[in-house]
Amino acid sequence: MGKPSLPQGTRDFGPDVVRKRNYILNIIKSVFELYGFQPLETPALENLDTLMGKYGDEGDKLIFKILNNGLDNPVKEKQVREDFEKVLSGKSTNGITERALKYDLTIPFARYVAMNHNTLNFPFKRYQVQPVWRADRPQRGRYREFYQCDADVVGSKSLLNEVELISIYQEVFIKLGLINYELRINHRQILAGLAEICGGADKMMDITIAIDKLDKIGLEKVKEELINRGLTGEQTAIIENYLGISGDNNNILSNLFSLIGQTATGKKGIEEIKHVVEHSSSASLIIDPTLARGLNYYTGIIFEAKAPAEVKMGSIGGGGRYDDLTGLFGVAGIPGVGISFGVDRIYDVMEELKLFPDDVFISTQALFFNLSEKESKIAFPLMQEMRQHNIRCELYHEAAKFDKQFKYAEKKNIPFVIIIGEKEIAAKKAVVKDIRKGEQREIDFDELIHSIFN
RNA sequence: GUAGUCGUAGCUCAGUUGGUUAGAGCAUUAGAUUGUGGUUCUAAGGGUCGGGGGUUCGAGCCCCCUCGAUUACCCCA
């Protein structure tokens, strides 16, 4: 075997990285808990037919499928060969693969709700932080294994849920220090109203896909794409009008109303946005008529959280309302709304803006120097007593030169070293040195547990 | 899945028109320093030049394939 390596698009997370990731995740989870959300975990594997057909044709191709075991069983050879022919022609078949790695958290959640709707206490508010897998081509900020961090409320149509989710975004981003984030908000029914006005309700998908790209490719290219997707010049002109809407939230609302307020769907969308905006205090909340979001199961309000403009990272979270997610699994009539945090991207943004606090890196607080077998026998019970008092500490594993022990402490970011040698044992006092300040003092053995090591 | 760029020591990179035993800095290890680190000095270890095949008297350098990284498209977190 050659040099070991990782599968494409996957990563190891070293100690410092895990600490920083946990810092982010702990803040998000604690805010979820604060709002009454409950944790859920589902398996890494799902049955393939639970996932297939839920993410569109592109999505199906990106699902990691797992080869069945026992395909080499001679008894099954004929069947396996037949099934494999189907695979070659682009179909997937249970004979070859019946399990797959999960592709997102939403569909497994929908499956869970469909399976347990008789026993769940609605509205059911759950959060879920787990890895998901996509056979996509990796790029910056895009991996084949990455974490999603979702919170959803199912079994309630109340817009109070939207207001609360907006508040969660606000609270999390402020706590993380991303004070200049933006939360863009729009409504699928506003987009539907636009399509209706254009006289092309059936063209809603084409319209949303095209206008979603506005900030990326510019107005001219969007118009081009609309024409290519079969819209007339007249229809395109109406859309151009729509895209030109700007100003503060009130301005946008009144402009939207005069453009598409006469359609029932458009009107409803505008009213819902208005209601939510009026009940939210976040200054980061911005109505963005060009926001569309790809996932087509959204039916109501949609969100997209953007990183502070100075880092050019784009989306760091998103979500929206869906009327009938569990319908795919035979249980109709459970509406829901959810949001998601893009943990990997939030990490990159925080790294760039240097927002991780210094104490994230401090694990062990104090290192006992090991001067000899005899002296370490005195140090060991003192260390154990400190551990009893929740002071994180360790004893250097063998007697070594000071130089070596200092370097170990320094590299591991341990702020204090405790030196106990013959002199100290005689006086029952330990030398405690603060590495960062370069200062040291003597502390009675009995007082160590009451001293401060941070 | 399509296209471009790249791949030399643990890391960052040199390496001339193809020419002997492939170099540097940082990092590592040991010593100068037997109870006080971060500085300095000395020495050492570490590379089948991503992998495979080809051209050539001779390949890190040229050609083909493959793997990986990266960027754009598609799509998305």
Provide the ipTM.
0.81
| 335-354 of chain A touching strand B, CB 7 A cut-off | 340, 342, 344-345
Any domain includes A51:
no
CA of A102, C1' of B65: distance in angstroms: 34
Same domain as A446, residue A413: yes
Number of domains in chain A: 2
Query: How many C-beta atoms lie closer than 10 Å to residue A274's C-beta?
Result: 18
A416 touches strand B (CB under 7 A): no
Mean pLDDT lowest among A14-28, A173-187, A301-315, A408-422: A301-315
- Express each pLDDT in A109-166 by its tens digit: 999 999 999 999 999 999 999 999 999 888 877 889 999 999 999 999 999 999 999 9
Same domain as A403, residue A262: no
Same domain as A333, residue A379: no
Q: Given A317, A352, A387, which residue is the final one in a domain? A: A352
Query: Stretch A316-327: mean pLDDT, rounded?
Result: 89
Same domain as A300, residue A220: yes
Strand-pairing partners, residue A429, are: A444
Any domain includes A200:
yes
A401 touches strand B (CB under 7 A): yes
Task: Find the domain containing A393 and state its range.
Answer: 362-453
- Please name the nucleotide lying closest to A341, CA to C1': B77
Any domain includes A196:
yes
On strand B, nucleotides with any atom < 7 Å from a protein CB are 1-3, 28, 30, 33-38, 48, 50-51, 67-77
- Express each pLDDT in A223-276 by its tens digit: 888 887 778 888 888 888 898 888 899 999 999 999 999 999 999 999 999 999
Same domain as A401, residue A308: no
Q: Given A352, A379, A412, which residue is the final one in a domain? A: A352
Among A443, A372, A381, A363, which residue's Cα sits nearest to residue A402?
A372
- Please name the nucleotide lying closest to A316, CA to C1': B77
- Domain of A164, CATH number, reads 3.30.930.10
- The whole model's pTM is what? 0.89
* A315 CB-near residues (< 8 Å, 6+ apart): A304, A305, A306, A307, A342, A345
Mean pLDDT lowest among A59-68, A153-162, A442-451: A59-68
Any domain includes A233:
yes
Percent pLDDT > 90 in chain A is: 50
Any domain includes A53:
no
Phi, psi of A186 (to 5 degrees): -155, 180
Same domain as A135, residue A29: yes
Written as six digits, the tokens of A33 are 């808990």
Strand-pairing partners, residue A182, are: A306
Calpha distance A378→A173 (Å, rounded) = 48
For Cα atoms A408, A412, A418, give the angle at the middle one, nearest 5 degrees: 60
